[in-house]
Structure 1
């Protein structure tokens, strides 16, 4: 869903906050500062790969560009990176500055991250050179994953079984609840992490509506801690806030759905939401530069907790950029160079591969084209999932093209007959609930899932807002969803 208009603040300059990075002091034997220092950290690690970070501090004269070189000591192979141009020749890895972060004043720092594969051992590099000069280094220990026992909080582990979602005991389940917007836009606008409170009382208010699911939209630049985001709202700070909200949702027995909403990549074509290259609006498709890294990091964060559901991309609309529907669906699945889109696209298959490459087997949702309102060729182009745990996602509002039972019967019913179908967003812009009442009945009759947009206190005339207060006081629109959930689950 597009949001009510908001002013986007100027980008915040400064060092990058990397995922899970913790500052480690660097001290020389003599006490004198080295010409440069590097902090190397393994921020997450899984069976065949890991995510790493380097923080470079320049202690000599200012430079206008930089290049960091080091050698992998355990046969690791670089696969991708961000905030630098990464390359590998033999064992030597090089990270060269980008145009936006090449200037490094005396005492200034810059960070960059990467993903690499490993086998046997993941030995840390022992020496680093910045522009050819040796640096002192500090190394952070690799993190030890802490498995989560879903039985502790009563939240079910869901999986796709045929065209149903089932729990560990094989009982059929439905995702019925709300979206909690904010995590996609507040951080990139420099205003915080979430829009409104996310304390236990505000989450309990959702549960009091008898919701069993909360969908949490995210921003990839904030999660990855890119340099355009205020460090207070980026990297580890952002990730920890998301993890905390997920924990609160689970504490009330509800299923958390983490979803990628806003992404990088400049698009100024038909139906562009913004001209900004940064993740400040909905783009037609995810980008190859950062989105696979985002999902690898998210999957590593939650792969030991299979109660968490992954929704790959909010509302794809490659159909607005391409000239044919076939091109749109090919772009949706395969990515690459898509007609009408100026950046390299990450297709749904790329994102499934990123998640499964971490060993995560969590349930994945994949929305179709036309802002997730068109599933007409979803079955034809569905990405391959080695875990067999994939469901279709769909969005509907009263103003969408596919917004009547005739369309639902012809395009949704065939999908729902083969795979689980989740309406990740339902809503209307009338401040009433006549339309969603019809949609919910159609989904109820078929045992399908749906989530209302959105649990935020916006004026419902500027966007579908379910509440007027975070204590759960509903708008006229929200009253329809609340009363229906209570009737179903009360």
Structure 2
């Protein structure tokens, strides 16, 4: 979203030479079954190499695609594989389904094999993750207790399963909530880190609307602590503030979405938000100089907490720079030297690779072109995700091109039929809620997710602002979202 004027500037460890089948022991409790089980075997071994195999059994809801991840512990290096698309990044090995074996029913199994090199030790991996869920570890059946404060339970670990977001138990989930703007612009303007309070009371007020998700926009130069940013608002100080807000959001039972909003790279072409090379406005695409490093750092920070969702880039608009839509989508996915953009672009594939290269399997959101309002070719140019945990992001305001049901039916519905769809920003600049009421109904009818812009006390006629006070007092615009969330989740 373009901000109001005051904001724009403003296993078995140690096993050597092991031949035969090894199943990592299943940790059980009260007889509970694991969500998935993996049998890992070394079928043959020679001086510098070995042949291995995995057998995966799905014990939860049927899945239309799968991705298995595990970590080599003895310096092994994958060289080739079969019956899956195999890859290795650092110590993490990923095997993703082929087109012919993606369907895995409840109780069904699939096997795949590989060849790898080894030296010194050929230790057996000790943990396995199927679509982000740990295998060979018992999952207790969820009891049905009396209703409790969401903060007691915490947010779920989400993953993409077909076209749905599901939790660890396979139950369908929706992301319904708000954006909390500030972290993208305050630091680069030298005015702080967040716009307004982010104390426990202010976060509790968001939960009081029955929101289950908070999207947190970020600035890459502030996160990376570049010299142009006041040190008080950069680097470790900035990161710790973000981590603290994420913790508060989780403490109130809500899912945190960390999102890259403003980036480096000079763009002065069509629809430029600013002429500054620094991260002081929305650029048409992220930059290769800093953005992959930003996402590697963010992913390393949160990879052990898979309740945190990663939104790769706020509102791409390479279509305003390129001469054809095809060029725009190619730039969106592949990056590089894009027509009309003077800096080297990091494409969505680069960013997915940066995240997954850390071993993080968190859910990733990727918005389309035209300020994330156009998903017409998202499926064609969808980046490859070895973790199989990718969703489409979309933004809509009453002044966007795709702001009517005819467009939603023709361009959104096909995407939503294939992958999870999250409207990361919905809003209108009318201080009313008639437009978002239409958006929410269309998304409700299809079980999709949406987040209102924004939980900030701005003038709702110059930018969609949900509140007039951080105690949760809504604007006329915010009343529509608040009442709707309470009706859904009350």
TM value normalised by structure 2:
0.72
Which secondary structure does the structure 2 equivalent of 1:6 belong to? helix
Mean Cα deviation higher: 239-248 or 28-37:
28-37
Task: Provide the rounded CA distance (Å) in 1 between the counterparts of 2:19 and 2:471.
Answer: 33
Mean Cα deviation higher: 5-14 or 358-367:
5-14
Quickly say closer, same or farther: Cα 1:8–1:187, change in 2 above 3 A: same
Structure 1 outlier segments of 4+, above 4 Å:
7-153
Which whole-Å deviations, capped at 9, do the CAs of 1:208-260 have from their partners, x for residues lacking one? 00000000000000000000000000000000000000000000000000000
Which secondary structure does the structure 2 equivalent of 1:391 belong to? strand
Which secondary structure does the structure 2 equivalent of 1:393 belong to? strand
Alpha-carbon distance, 1:5 to partner: 1.2
Mean Cα deviation higher: 31-40 or 162-171:
31-40
Q: Could you tell me whether the CA contact under 8 Å between 1:40 and 1:139 is conserved in 2?
A: no
Q: Which residue does the alignment assign to 2:111?
A: 111
Task: Provide the rounded CA distance (Å) in 1 between the counterparts of 2:419 and 2:66.
Answer: 50
RMSD: 16.5
Quickly say closer, same or farther: Cα 1:398–1:469, change in 2 above 3 A: same
Task: Provide the rounded CA distance (Å) in 1 between the counterparts of 2:337 and 2:93.
Answer: 27
Task: Provide the rounded CA distance (Å) in 1 between the counterparts of 2:335 and 2:110.
Answer: 31
Which whole-Å deviations, capped at 9, do the CAs of 1:264-294 have from their partners, x for residues lacking one? 0000000000000000000000000000000
Quickly say closer, same or farther: Cα 1:251–1:181, change in 2 above 3 A: same
Quickly say closer, same or farther: Cα 1:7–1:207, change in 2 above 3 A: closer
Alpha-carbon distance, 1:6 to partner: 3.0
Task: Provide the rounded CA distance (Å) in 2 between the counterparts of 1:212 and 1:153.
Answer: 12
Which whole-Å deviations, capped at 9, do the CAs of 1:161-202 have from their partners, x for residues lacking one? 000000001000000000000000000000000000000000
Which secondary structure does the structure 2 equivalent of 1:216 belong to? strand
Alpha-carbon distance, 1:352 to partner: 0.2
Which secondary structure does the structure 2 equivalent of 1:18 belong to? coil
Which secondary structure does the structure 1 equivalent of 2:7 belong to? coil
Task: Provide the rounded CA distance (Å) in 1 between the counterparts of 2:486 and 2:251.
Answer: 19
Quickly say closer, same or farther: Cα 1:84–1:300, change in 2 above 3 A: farther
Alpha-carbon distance, 1:153 to partner: 4.6
Alpha-carbon distance, 1:155 to partner: 1.0
Alpha-carbon distance, 1:119 to partner: 12
Q: Which residue does the alignment assign to 2:156?
A: 156
Which whole-Å deviations, capped at 9, do the CAs of 1:84-133 have from their partners, x for residues lacking one? 99999999999999999999999999999999999999999999999999
Which whole-Å deviations, capped at 9, do the CAs of 1:54-113 have from their partners, x for residues lacking one? 999999999999999999999999999999999999999999999999999999999999
Q: Which residue does the alignment assign to 1:230?
A: 230
Task: Provide the rounded CA distance (Å) in 2 between the counterparts of 1:347 and 1:30.
Answer: 47
Quickly say closer, same or farther: Cα 1:271–1:484, change in 2 above 3 A: same
Quickly say closer, same or farther: Cα 1:188–1:108, change in 2 above 3 A: farther
Which whole-Å deviations, capped at 9, do the CAs of 1:16-73 have from their partners, x for residues lacking one? 9999999999999999999999999999999999999999999999999999999999
Quickly say closer, same or farther: Cα 1:30–1:247, change in 2 above 3 A: closer
Task: Provide the rounded CA distance (Å) in 2 between the counterparts of 1:146 and 1:249.
Answer: 23
Quickly say closer, same or farther: Cα 1:272–1:238, change in 2 above 3 A: same
Alpha-carbon distance, 1:405 to partner: 0.2
Which whole-Å deviations, capped at 9, do the CAs of 1:423-457 have from their partners, x for residues lacking one? 00000000000000000000000000000000000
Which secondary structure does the structure 1 equivalent of 2:18 belong to? coil
Alpha-carbon distance, 1:408 to partner: 0.2
Quickly say closer, same or farther: Cα 1:335–1:313, change in 2 above 3 A: same
Task: Provide the rounded CA distance (Å) in 2 between the counterparts of 1:449 and 1:235.
Answer: 32
Task: Provide the rounded CA distance (Å) in 2 between the counterparts of 1:475 and 1:288.
Answer: 39
Q: Could you tell me whether the CA contact under 8 Å between 1:25 and 1:138 is conserved in 2?
A: no
Alpha-carbon distance, 1:135 to partner: 49
Which secondary structure does the structure 1 equivalent of 2:439 belong to? helix
Quickly say closer, same or farther: Cα 1:137–1:446, change in 2 above 3 A: closer
Quickly say closer, same or farther: Cα 1:147–1:405, change in 2 above 3 A: closer
Task: Provide the rounded CA distance (Å) in 2 between the counterparts of 1:100 and 1:453.
Answer: 41
Task: Provide the rounded CA distance (Å) in 2 between the counterparts of 1:33 and 1:411.
Answer: 41
Task: Provide the rounded CA distance (Å) in 2 between the counterparts of 1:64 and 1:418.
Answer: 10
**Any unmatched runs of 5+ in structure 1?**
none
Alpha-carbon distance, 1:154 to partner: 2.1
Which secondary structure does the structure 1 equivalent of 2:87 belong to? strand
Quickly say closer, same or farther: Cα 1:123–1:290, change in 2 above 3 A: farther
Quickly say closer, same or farther: Cα 1:376–1:10, change in 2 above 3 A: closer
Q: Which residue does the alignment assign to 2:367?
A: 367
Q: Could you tell me whether the CA contact under 8 Å between 2:185 and 2:280 is conserved in 1?
A: yes
Quickly say closer, same or farther: Cα 1:133–1:260, change in 2 above 3 A: closer
Mean Cα deviation higher: 115-124 or 176-185:
115-124
Quickly say closer, same or farther: Cα 1:263–1:206, change in 2 above 3 A: same
